[in-house]
Amino acid sequence: MQRFLASVETRAYCIARFATRNRDDALDLVQDAMLKLVQNYAQRDASEWRALFYTILQSRIRDWHRRQQVRNRFRHWFSWSDEDEEDAPDLLDQLPAQASSDPAVQLDNAQFVTQLDQELCALPYRQQQAFLLRAWEELDVAETAQVMACSESAVKTHYARALEKLRDKLEALQ
Amino acid sequence: MSNGNDPFEQRVRSALDARAHALDAHTRAKLATARECALAHTPWWRPWWPAHPWVPASAVAACAVLVVSVVLVRGPADPIGGLAQTDTEAALELLLAADDASALDAEASVQLEAMLLLEEGEPDEG
């Protein structure tokens, strides 16, 4: 369990961060998902942990979005500004260590990562999560449908639309 | 549906991997702490209660010492009433001791007076 959690925690954090756009909320969601997995499913077979973990995480993210919708209604009524609560994208300090020593290649990669971050954040939530779970976590369609609590055809649709949008925006940078 | 071998998808995946690997140390430390807490999965009070029973035991002992100290310093629960009762009893004892002689004299004089009355009364009856 220790090794499993260590292997998924950074990717899970990034997925939660894309969904919430808030660092502290993402950390809370990941911690909650870890706790629930250990408490309720530690006895299950290790091959099931990945899907179970992401199911819990997606459930927590959906709950978070519901709470945000309620909070946003109140904010709208009272005209509260939420500019200070959303983290500014910390893209430059998270640029990957570059394999290439060519400055031009490094710049291209940095621009690609920056643009990818922005485009992923701009995607609708369901498309974004379907894309991350399928393309990054490499869950199959059935697992993604189970994790996102939707049908397999919906997963295929979300994934195809997300891929199309990202391709449109990012292929020029390649 | 793509099978994941598309160059664009591979580049996206590698960019996301690089992003995850480039997380700052603070976030990594927080994630590690979250993992350890999840693996321990103990409520907030559990870390010290079963592993260190001397902690609650010493807290109970300290409370007991405090209560005993307060009781000893302050005396009985109703010190004013207690003192007043003690003072009254002492005063009564002193009063009785002081009036002892006069009380006896008074008793003797009453007896004497009664005897005189009896003696005076006998001729009257006769």
The DSSP 8-state label assigned to residue A158 in this structure reads H
Region label for B41, one of left (φ > 0), alpha (ψ between -120 and 50) or beta (otherwise) = left
Geometric angle at alpha carbon B61, from B58 and B64, rounded to 5° = 155
Q: Quick: pLDDT tens for A64-89.
A: 888 888 877 776 666 555 544 444 44
Per the CB < 8 Å rule, is A94 touching B24? Answer: yes
The pLDDT, as a whole number, for residue A89 is 47
How much is the pLDDT for A173?
Answer: 65
DSSP state of A98: P
Q: Which residues of B touch A112 (CB under 8 A)?
A: 11, 15
Name every residue in B having a CB less than 8 A away from some CB of A.
1-2, 4, 8-9, 11-13, 15-24, 27-28, 30-32, 34-35, 37-39, 41
What values do phi and psi take at A133, rounded to 5? -70, -35
Calpha distance A119→A45 (Å, rounded): 36
Question: Does ipTM top 0.95?
Answer: no
CB atoms < 10 A from the CB of B20, how many? 18
Predicted pLDDT at A115: 84
pLDDT at position A45 is 86
Kindly list the distances between the CA atom of residue B76 and the CA atoms of A44, A130, B82, B85, in Å, as whole numbers in the listed order: 64, 75, 8, 13
* pLDDT computed for residue B50 by the predictor: 52
pLDDT of residue A106: 62
> Of the candidates B4, B18, B27, which has its C-beta nearest A113's C-beta?
B18
Tokens 């902690």 appear where? B55
Q: How far is B9 from chain A (nearest CA, A)?
A: 7
A10: chain B residues, CB-CB within 8 Å:
20-21, 23, 28, 31
Overall pTM surpassing 0.80 (yes/no): no
Contacts of B30 in chain A (CB under 8 A): 27
Ranges under pLDDT 50 in chain B: 1, 43-47, 125-126
Residue B23: per-residue pLDDT: 85
- Determine contact, residues A129/A62, Cβ cutoff 8 Å: no
Min distance B22 CA to chain A CA atoms (Å): 5
Q: What is the pLDDT along chain A (174 residues), one digit of tens a residue?
A: 888 898 888 889 998 988 888 888 888 888 888 888 988 888 888 888 988 999 999 999 998 888 888 877 776 666 555 544 444 444 444 444 444 556 666 666 777 888 888 888 889 989 999 999 998 888 889 999 988 989 999 999 999 999 999 888 887 766
Contact yes or no for A135 and B24 at CB 8 A: no
- The kind and range of the H/E element at B6 are none
Asked whether the beta carbons of residue B35 and residue A37 sit closer than 8 angstroms, the reply is no
